[in-house]
Copies of this chain bind each other. A is one copy, B any other.
Amino acid sequence: MNLGYYLSGYADGEGCFCISFNKSKRHRFGWDIRPSFSVSQNRDRAEILHEFRRYFGWGTIRPDRSDKTLKYEVRSIRDLVERVTPHFKEFPLISSKRKDFEKVAEVCELMMKQEHLSERGFREVAKLALKVNSGGKKKYPRLEIKI
């Protein structure tokens, strides 16, 4: 079977391309920026999460915060750039979630090049991040970034 298309279809429904910002004294400009790709599923239907893990060869499967579901997640910038991004370029999403993917991919690319450590790069990353998931259920608090 063509697992690439199957997993993209699944991710189009249940996947999340996210960028979280957490306050951190250890990080440049006071923010820890974490792009991620994740898919969640009820425990009794977790087979698909293991397919994702096998397919990408990386990522973690762990209970979601609610503890009712399991979540497969890739957070390493290198894996996002080298595995997740090429996959979704080869097997593109049909829905408007594709726009979230494109922004997260762009942020990962910038972070891979360490550009988020400059003021200009950080602003660019923050601008892209604010557009991600803006239409979804999960609303991130509006960042007040002063640098």
A contact set with B: CB distance below 8 Å: 1-14, 39, 41-42, 44-45, 47-48, 51, 91-92, 94-97, 135-136
Q: Which residue of A4, A6, A7, A11 has the most chain B CB atoms within 10 A of its CB atom?
A: A6
Which residue of B has the minimal Cβ distance to A49?
A: B95
User: Which listed residue (B9, B42, B91, B92) contacts A10, Cβ 8 A?
Assistant: B9
Contacts of A97 in B (CB 8 A): 45
Contacts of A42 in B (CB 8 A): 135-136
Contacts of A48 in B (CB 8 A): 12-13, 94-95
Contacts of A11 in B (CB 8 A): 9
Given A1-B5, A5-B2, A47-B96, A12-B10 contact (CB < 8 Å) = yes
